[in-house]
Structures are given as structure tokens and as C-alpha cells.
A = this chain, B = another copy of it.
């Protein structure tokens, strides 16, 4: 039997409440599809930061390096600044393991209300560049505290970094509906984004089976609201991909259940899977967190580990529980606890 070694990082708040349901689901499909999981648990979190002064140990990445994948709950705690929790854990893992693709599927499920009158059949994937671009460490401030103070921040787009994520996106589009949209703003941001556009045209020419176009991010955000069903694969820089994936999830009525995969497609390093939702300190500890984001992220992990049928079983079960039952956690308007909802999903599975 294939066995996969998974690093579990529950993190903070509801992170610890959504990973156990995801593991139950993984075990259930593993039995059916003939693979097993060995899990190692890491307490890396804001709680650890408050106790020991660091989100993770200094050799944190080395401890994860030999794992087949990382499943993360959520990170964030009132009183710990975002830049500590993110740049002390999430972003170092993304960058240290060259997880340069951030994949965020968005679907309108039957049984979930979209806020749009006519969302249509939304089924798109945002492919976000995940290690360079606008999220750069390069920059700083001059004249701190004086009237002439200013801050600069350098966005950096490399040919290699953009090309690899574009190739991933074009390949994905070829396997899906054959259409790709690139998010740009080359009319206003005149150095990095014209370069992005050129590389899109170059990679587009290398993928003749894919029809592609590009939209400025302002117009694209509007079109996500006006006609989300027309999109298939949407590729964007680190910042644009971040904005568009949250927006698309809101449009699909699924912001609380959205999953994400931080992929190193070459498998030189472990990839990381995490729900898009945060640690939700307001509801943590009450057993009512929605486990769907974590479960859907676990399905993406299965796909990455080479078990696409098992992954499909999980997403089919998610679709079925939403379409055929009214069991819902409070975030989706129901009264079920995390455990009740998970039980129902396991039955359907």
C-alpha cells in the first residue's frame, strides 16, 4: 500500500478544528483507494510565538523537507501582528519550498447561494504567482517621522518566475476548457506588467491549443461580478491573484469554503494545502467551524499526491452534501456543529 508522509500544521483558532475532519475524510478515501497516511504534527502557530518568540523553530523548513505534503489549518491570533504570523511561517514555507503556483478553484455548488442574481455555472481556477511579484522584501523608508518621509517597495518580475507559472496555467487550461485570461494593468503600471504581457503572449504562442486573452485588473474585477461564468483559468501576479481569488469566491458564495494549494510542481519540495479562511478567533473553540475549506484543500492534496479519483470522490461528496441535504455549519446559515457536518459528509462518502 502506498503511504504518504504528511506534515500537519493546525496553527491557530479554528485551524485545529478543521484539520481533524479533513483527516477523517482522507482516511476514509484512503481505505477505499488503497493508500495510507502517516502524519506528523507541528505546533507552529501564534500561540508558539507568544510562548517561545518564534512561529516555528529555526530549522523549521528542514523538518518539513522530507514530507510528501503539508496540510495547514490557519494562522493568526489577535495581538500578533500579521507580518509576524505570515512572514514567520506561511510566506517562508511558500518561498523556501518554491511553491510558485497558488491554485484556487472556485465553483458555484448547488445548494449554496451566490450573492449574484445570475451567477451561472461558475467553475474557474485562479492560478496565482506565489513567490515573487508585488510581495517583495525589497524596499524601505527614508526620513522616518519627518515631513519628507517616504516609503518605496519594489515589485520584481523575473522571466523565469513568470514563465513557469504561465506554463502551469496554460497546461491547466489545456486540460480544462482551453481558455485562459491573464490579469494585467500594463496601462498604468508600465515596467513590470508590460513584461508580464509579453511573456503571456510568448507562452500563449507555445500553447496553441489554448485561447487566451488579457484584461486590466479593474475591468476584470468588474467582469467577475457581471459574468463570472465566462472564465475558465485566470492567471495573475501574486497581488492580482490574491484579489481575484477572494473576489471570485465571494461571487460564488463560497468564501468560507474555498481551498488553496501552494504547489511546487517539480516536486523538488513538499507542496502545502490550506483553506483560504483564517483562524476566526471569534468562533474558535465552539466546535462550529466549517471544515469544507480544509476538506476541499485535502482533496487538492490527494490530486497532487497522485490520487485523482480519491480527490474526485471528496469533491463529489462535498457537492452532494450541499445539494442533497440542508446540513450546514452556521457560516452557511445552518446550525450543525463541525462534527455533525463531518459525519454527514462521511456517510455520503
In the complex, are the beta carbons of A139 and B192 less than 8 A apart? yes
Within 8 A of B (CB), among A198-248: 217-219, 221-223, 225-226, 238-239, 242-243, 245-247
Q: Is A250 an interface residue (CB 8 A)?
A: yes
A113 to chain B, nearest CB (A): 8
In the complex, are the beta carbons of A246 and B226 less than 8 A apart? no
Q: Which of B86, B147, B185, B192 contacts A187 (CB 8 A)?
A: B86
Given the known A-B contacts A159-B147, A195-B151, A226-B250, are A82 and B187 also in contact in the complex, defined by CB atoms under 8 Å?
yes
Given the known A-B contacts A186-B83, A189-B135, A195-B141, are A153 and B154 also in contact in the complex, defined by CB atoms under 8 Å?
yes
Residues of B within 8 A of A153 (CB): 154-155, 189-193
Closest to A137 in B: B190
A165 to chain B, nearest CB (A): 14
A281 to chain B, nearest CB (A): 15
- Which residues does A use to contact B, with CB under 8 Å? 82-83, 86-87, 91, 113, 115-118, 134-135, 137, 139-141, 143, 146-160, 185-195, 217-219, 221-223, 225-226, 238-239, 242-243, 245-247, 249-251, 255
Q: Mind listing 25 A-B residue pairs with CB under 8 Å?
A: A86-B187, A86-B188, A87-B190, A91-B188, A115-B117, A115-B118, A117-B117, A139-B154, A139-B191, A147-B160, A149-B158, A149-B159, A153-B189, A153-B191, A153-B193, A185-B242, A218-B242, A218-B246, A221-B221, A222-B247, A222-B250, A225-B247, A225-B251, A226-B250, A243-B243
* Number of this chain's copies in the complex: 2
A200 to chain B, nearest CB (A): 13
Closest 6 CB pairs of A and B: A139-B191, A222-B250, A82-B187, A218-B246, A151-B195, A153-B191
Q: How far is the CA of A251 from the CA of B225 in the complex (A)?
A: 7
Residues of B within 8 A of A155 (CB): 139, 152-155
In the complex, are the beta carbons of B83 and A194 less than 8 A apart? yes
A219 to chain B, nearest CB (A): 6
A181 to chain B, nearest CB (A): 16
In the complex, are the beta carbons of A82 and B150 less than 8 A apart? no
Q: What 8 new A-B contacts, CB under 8 Å, besides A139-B190, A152-B155, A153-B192? A: A91-B188, A116-B116, A135-B188, A146-B159, A149-B159, A150-B158, A218-B243, A219-B246
In the complex, are the beta carbons of A221 and B195 less than 8 A apart? no
Q: How far is the CA of A137 from the CA of B138 in the complex (A)?
A: 17
In the complex, are the beta carbons of B250 and A221 less than 8 A apart? yes
Q: How far is the CA of A179 from the CA of B140 in the complex (A)?
A: 31
In the complex, are the beta carbons of A189 and B134 less than 8 A apart? yes
In the complex, are the beta carbons of A239 and B116 less than 8 A apart? no
